[in-house]
Structure 1
Amino acid sequence: MERENCQMSGSQSDSGVITMEDLEGFSEEGHSDSAYNSSLQDDAEQERLLNYWQNVGRGHQVEVPRDMAEPIQQLTRNNRTSQEREIVPFRLISQKEKCGEILYEERLYEKAKWACITVHEKQYEQSICLGFMKLMRYICEQNSTGTYLGLTIPVVTIVHTEESRTVLSQAVTVAYYLPLEFQNQPPQPNDTEIMIQEWPTTIVYSRTFRGTTNEQSILHEINMLAEALDFSEICLEDSFIMAGYTNPAARNRHNEIWFLRRL
């Protein structure tokens, strides 16, 4: 399979993921359903959307390849009628507060199926870019059913550190929770690099944070949660999850860092 050009240059504080929210402003700028009334108009609309994404991508130091045109158009069309995105279900066990601030939550996630891809780029942002675009293709009809599967949140990233928790491993796994209607019979990806995995029932300790999600901010949040827990030895010591709920290009976006409890 030909590899996408997903290189980034510039500050690591820049996010490398292009998501639905990048399209929302564009799709609200006066484009009507009449743009899809003929194949000619359809092709023109697809080209405009791709050009918009490529312009946004350059602002993030990301090259969006031309074969992303159809997935981008599919996401845009469905986003115009979608009211909300399915959230990964969990049960809240407990939470720790201090001075009215929630330091962390303890949650139970039941076993579920996820579409996962592991990427080995030099920088965290590069891996996220490549992995997310491949999952977009899977969501947008490039699967055994040929249907649009629908977005779910959060999209999660499994990261690993060495013992001192000062460096992230280059191996990053990006994962998409399959909507409830597909949990029993997951559509199979056309891309052989994407694997459908059943994750076991898991207890996580989750800390919310706002802002950028680069290597430095993730390492910082890992250490902040470790300090808040006071008993982080009951968690896995080198595997963590970054959960993203909102547009990574937004200034005040919603993210979480998860510690996985040993079972």
Structure 2
Amino acid sequence: METSAGCRLNGSGSGMITLEDLESFPNDQDLDSAWHSHGSGSLEEDTEPMEDEQDRLLHYWQDIGRVHQVDVPTDMAEPIQQLTTNNHSSAAREKVPFTLITRKDKCGEILYEKRHYEKAKWACIPVQEEKYEQSICLGFMKLMRYICEQNSSGSYLGMTIPIVTVVRTEQSRSLLSREVIVAYHLPAQHQDHPPQPNDTDIVIQEWPASIIYTRSFSSVTNEGSILNEINLLVEALDMPQIHMEDSFIVAGYTNPAAPIRSNEIWVLHRP
């Protein structure tokens, strides 16, 4: 799977503030209740005007952003409200299609799956911040604006999952490269003619059909957990040709308010 203009996966992907680790968020905050009360997309008869609902959502995201030393600007209020209203159920999020080729398990645990993904168009953006979590947050905020009307069609495009992040490890095998690529799979209805982003940093590219090895994990997605999961997948595959300095993908499916968060590590099959 590869793209161009800085969105290339050579060799071998929640990024969204709502895919990030909230481990250090105040313990007395009921995140699950907060997410659903802010993000249900429904308003009671005695609720305040839409502007106030946008403010509440914005402040919620700003609180999350501060955990990762990320500022969520006020102009994100409308995209946040749009995305939250349109994606209050899993049925509203289109899954990236694939065909399962095989699965390896041991003692009831799935070690990895081998899947085939068809060629498809993705919107991707390179980001390079001091911390992985910052890059994910900032990258997805840009993609979020694109999804929420800041595109040539002027319409809401629809959410797909997973949101993926292309990462590379340093040669020491103990650090992630500072630059990551955050990518969003265009919904089926926009695959043939993708709306162009208003933001010139976002590139629309067609990724070729690929065979992917993937391992699921349910935990936070920070640099430490990602490096650990990459090592676990590489060990399970037992393929010497996979080098740790190759590219990998972190795929995020759920928001951090969920009691169990669903993520995957992907490795591209190389014949």
TM-score, normalised via structure 1 length: 0.83
Are 2:124 and 1:124 equivalent residues in the alignment? no
Alpha-carbon distance, 1:82 to partner: 7.3
Change (3 A) 1:135 1:257: same
Counterparts of 2:47 and 2:150, CA distance in 1:
24
Distance (whole Å) between structure 1 residues aligned to residue 146 and residue 165 of structure 2: 17
Q: Tell me, what secondary structure is at the counterpart of 1:45? A: helix
Aligned to 1:54: 62
Question: C-alpha displacement at 1:225, in angstroms?
Answer: 0.7
Q: Which of 233, 250, 269 is equivalent to 1:225?
A: 233
1:106 corresponds in structure 2 to 114
- Partner of residue 99, structure 2: 91
The equivalent position to 1:31 in structure 2, one of 43, 48, 52, is 43
Provide Cα deviations, 1:30-53, integer angstroms capped at 9, x if missing partner. 7337869xxxx3333322332333
1:232 positional shift:
4.6
1:242 aligns with 2:254: no
1:195 aligns with 2:203: yes
Deviations 1:137-182 (A, max 9, x none): 0000000001001110000000001234221100100000000000
**In structure 2, what is the equivalent of residue 252 of structure 1?**
260
Structure 2 distance, partners of 1:29, 1:73, is 8
Structure 1 runs not aligned, ≥5 long:
1-10, 16-20
Structure 2: where are the runs of 5+ without partners?
A: 1-20, 26-32
Percent identity over paired residues = 62
Root mean square deviation, CA, Å: 2.8
Question: What letter matches 1:131 in structure 2?
Answer: G
Preserved CA contact (<8 Å) 2:102 2:115: yes
SS in 2 for 1:83: helix
The count of aligned residue pairs is 245
Greater RCO, 1 or 2 (C-alpha within 8 Å, sep 6+): 2
Q: Specify the alignment match of 1:4 in structure 2.
A: none
Please give the TM-score of this superposition, normalised by the length of structure 2: 0.81
